[in-house]
Structure 1
């Protein structure tokens, strides 16, 4: 028996419905419903989702709702929020929601509540970022830090860089930041030419402290700092780590007290909510970072509890399925209208491309539809 969703009755019904709707023009849909904007928009969590200018009708939404029920979306959402090992390939939970769980409701992973550990790291981030922002963290020569250089790659770079730019209104006036991920020496080299070693702090973000590109850039920065300040012990005053590899961090010259941990159940594309967000807290302040967490938690709760057709992320996901699987749409435009969101499309692209595009189901069956 074939269990692929594409062989279900609801899938066949949606294909038939698409053929009916394909020739219909957008202007026709608005002409048929003078209240189309009101009927096809929704507000939640201080966000407005206007999906009225999409090729769909109430019938489309009802069919997509049936599709969501068929794939047991509600059940999988509960598993996600309860800490079950939903990543069966790596036998891991996917608990970025715990990172922003401002209710502190216990979330259990492998029999352990992860919230105390999360709150411990958040408190450590607060203490560190406050020290830097208040001018209390001093470099090797006794000068306060005014430049932050984050060295990472993928989620350890693009997420924090995106948020730091988007919320730069809150940036401390004394501080500047740089984000380095390219293994090409020209990027880091250009930054090192502009900054003062006496007032620069490097944040090295690598869970295992073995990520090739990150460690190569970190070693370059380390050598530069020692050459400029003339003493290897200066490293401890100018480098901190976001990692779990205590031994390697210590061997690098970083005081393990200044190592900020995160966990296996933190996916790279969602890691900005974890200690990977350390450069965010330094640049905009822990209070603003906690507001970011609170906003995300609010939307998480909306996602977990709102009915399918009143649920912002679910609606957006179902519309994506409608276009990709039934209209054969191969691309999607994301166009921010605010310059501070310049990096958001790249961040979203990475998130989507790493999360989707699977060629097999969870049971290992090859799919015959776009994912």
Structure 2
């Protein structure tokens, strides 16, 4: 199969490369996907037969598309800066969303003298804000308060200890983020940080000043001891992995200012409007979804890589892993029937570091693994050598895509590159809050599109619960200290032997 370019399109700024489309100045080039115009036409027909346009409209209109939980997936309302009404069960949600924006802005204006922020959350309460705070730190001349932002997610006390060794307790603020406010890792870490604050001599008044919460369970946050005006709500129609646009993104606003947070929302909102209004043939999230679907169907791919050629986006693949694999890692469809395809394995890291890691496998391994190359047209620093370094970075990105597509023959089998390895190129004009928001929303909408095409519910995650249930009796067995644990309905023979070994050597 040839990987020659196709799909020539233009925009207001001139002719795009063959195989490219754009939205809000983000360019998607699929020329190396190896999909000819006839195949694209079939894919768009398949999308319409799968009722993808209706799904997009229903999702953005607040319909209950999360069937298993009888909820909408209305995270797009969190970045609806137009404040146009978004109706849910007969009520406009935008006044409540706008109220949270006002409260975030007010907190940014009065939060002074803070040296450290400990953001406690896990999963969707951690990946999004961590990615954004890390990425925006690279933006030259960005407004920044320079606080130390600590993200505490893992129940491993080593992470806790590392943070508490650095933070200054009397000028630290703590943000506890949990939709349910019952997440085990988050509540245990929160209690440990509170104990540290108390042991550091903070008075009750100082404790009250230091603690904040972001949650859909306001009563539980109050019971924990957090003052009501320090509790920022979000709602059950927001999935955790889609929640960075809510008050979960507080660290972004607190570190870089509310205006920057608004720009982050604006980029995502602009991508949502494109997703809503663009025809399928020009719709970036849809095109990306269909390209992956094609590679699954034609090549049986089991994984894909996301490789941003920007050190600022090194956390992006980790965020994307949760988005794709927690959303679409399912074996049954919305009707409970087995599915042929669901989410591939997602991996990646910053290029060009990645070239010195797993690109050997991408070029010469037995598996065909598509790649999303993500590049930024402008350098991410004002250093005198920035332009020269950036040319090398971009040349490596383009060269890897070309080498993967065309391959190379040689007499020595060890030097043969099979080629015919598909990839796409995403080009951002620059990396700032707006384009970071647009990038994340692009992938969110692609994940939703894939769910619709596979007939999978992308907005529940029942698979993560079973292990949590089994952990409770295992923890009790470890607490007992006994090395005579026997099998029962909750602990099998192998796990019992492991517990006995751990207890006998504790």
TM over 0.5: yes
1:95 pairs with 2:67: no
Task: Note the alpha carbon deviations across 1:176-228, whole angstroms, 9 max, x for none.
Answer: 20101000111011110111101111100012221110010000000000010
Q: Does 1:244 align with 2:223?
A: no
> 227-236 vs 179-188, which deviates more?
227-236
Note if 1:84 corresponds to 2:84.
no
Displacement after TM superposition at 1:234 (Å) = 2.5
Shift in Å, 1:30: 5.2
SS of the equivalent of 2:69 reads coil
For residues 30-49 of structure 1, the aligned pairs below 5 Å read 38-49=17-28
Deviations 1:278-317 (A, max 9, x none): 1111111110111111111111010111111111110001
* Paired position in structure 2 for 1:180: 152
Counterpart CA distance in 1 for 2:303 and 2:146 is: 41
Counterpart secondary structure, 1:38: coil
Change (3 A) 1:38 1:338: closer
- Partners of 2:155 and 2:117 lie apart in 1 by 18
Output aligned runs, 1:21-170, within 5 Å: 24-26=1-3, 29=4, 38-132=17-111, 135=112, 144-168=113-137, 169=139, 170=142
Alignment of 1:328-339 (within 5 A): 328-339=300-311
Distance 1:320 1:347 in 2: 19
Alignment match, 1:204:
176
For structure 2, the 5+ residue unaligned runs are 344-506
Q: Secondary structure at the match of 1:334?
A: strand
Instruction: Give the root-mean-square deviation of aligned CA atoms.
Output: 1.9
**With structure 2 as the length reference, what TM-score do the two structures score?**
0.64
Please report how far the alpha carbon of residue 238 of structure 1 lies from its aligned counterpart in structure 2 after TM superposition.
1.0
**Partner Cα distance (2:314, 2:340) in 1:** 35
For normalisation by structure 1, the TM-score amounts to 0.86
Distance 2:125 2:259 in 1: 21
How far apart are residue 158 of structure 1 and its match?
0.7
Contact conserved, 2:146 with 2:255, CA < 8 A, in 1?
Answer: no
Distance 1:284 1:307 in 2: 35
SS at match of 1:49: strand
1:201 alignment partner, SS class: strand
Residues 338, 369 of structure 1: alpha-carbon distance in 2 compared, 3 angstrom cutoff: closer
Deviations 1:25-71 (Å, cap 9, x if unpaired)? Answer: 43xx259x9x9973311122110111111121111111101110110
Equivalent residues, number: 334
Secondary structure of 1:241's partner?
A: strand
After superposition, the C-alpha distances for 1:73-124 in whole angstroms (9 at most, x for unaligned) are 1111111111110000000000011111111111111111100000001110
- Give 5+ residue unaligned stretches, structure 1: 1-23, 136-143
**Structure-1 separation of matches of 2:289 and 2:67:** 22
Equivalent positions of 1:274-313 (< 5 A) are 274-313=246-285
Please name the residue that 2:349 is paired with. Answer: none
**Other structure's SS at 1:53 match:** helix
Structure 1 SS opposite 2:124: helix
Greater CA drift, 218-227 or 240-249 = 240-249
Distance 1:311 1:230 in 2: 54
Q: Which residue pairs with 2:227 in the alignment?
A: 255
